[in-house]
């Protein structure tokens, strides 16, 4: 495999794979963290409906709090989106790519080869509104902090 190879289905890079010996047991089924994310999202939606957005917004706040400990500085929307891209795509390989367009009143995100694509498809087929995207939740938390800082 080329050194810059990325799985086209999940966006995980070659460096995240480990050589198995012939006798190694290969677990079957979906990864446990994916099952947990799906179950939590589905349960939250069933209990709270659209009110679950208030709960899942905390995901972004927690990620942003973690990122602030790394000494990031945010001056504008571009800094926020670069931070989100660096953390989720470049460092943690949540997806193959994250493109964004900053407009006057909105920021549009386009995530390619997200490792949670399968979970999202299953949830959408059950009419669950997807509110657990770490990319948008973290960007929203950072943008909110940026706006409060600008106003102050």
Q: Model confidence over 83-142: pLDDT tens digits?
A: 999 999 999 888 899 999 999 888 999 999 888 888 888 888 888 887 777 888 888 888
**Residue 1 forms part of a structural domain:** no
Q: Which domain holds residue 106?
A: 31-151
Is the pLDDT score of 150 beyond 60?
no
Under a CB-based contact definition with an 8 Å cutoff, are residues 121 and 141 in contact? no
Please state, in angstroms and as integers, the Cα–Cα distance from residue 27 to each residue in 24, 30, 39, following that order.
10, 9, 20
**Residue 9 forms part of a structural domain:** no
**Residue 24 forms part of a structural domain:** no
For the stretch 101-111, pLDDT in tens is: 999 888 999 99
**Residue 3 forms part of a structural domain:** no
pLDDT at 152: 45
**Residue 20 forms part of a structural domain:** no
pLDDT at 148: 67
Is the pLDDT score of 41 beyond 70?
yes
Under a CB-based contact definition with an 8 Å cutoff, are residues 41 and 128 in contact? yes
**Residue 137 forms part of a structural domain:** yes
**Residue 4 forms part of a structural domain:** no
Please give the tally of structural domains in the chain: 1
Is the pLDDT score of 151 beyond 60?
no
Which tokens belong to 90?
């470049």
């Amino acid at each position: 495999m080329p050194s810059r190879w990325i799985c086209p289905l999940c966006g995980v890079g070659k460096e995240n794979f480990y050589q198995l010996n012939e006798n190694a047991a290969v677990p079957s089924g979906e990864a446990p963290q994916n099952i947990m994310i799906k179950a939590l999202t589905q349960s939250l939606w069933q209990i709270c409906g659209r009110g679950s957005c208030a709960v899942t917004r905390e995901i972004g706040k927690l990620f942003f709090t973690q990122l602030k400990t790394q000494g990031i500085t945010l001056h504008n929307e571009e800094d926020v989106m670069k931070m989100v891209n660096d953390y989720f795509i470049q460092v943690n390989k949540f997806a193959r790519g994250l493109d964004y367009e900053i407009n006057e009143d909105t920021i549009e995100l386009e995530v390619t080869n997200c490792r949670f694509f399968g979970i999202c498809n299953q949830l959408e087929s059950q009419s669950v509104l997807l509110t657990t995207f770490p990319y948008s939740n973290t960007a929203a938390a950072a943008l909110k902090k940026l706006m409060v800082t600008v106003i102050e």
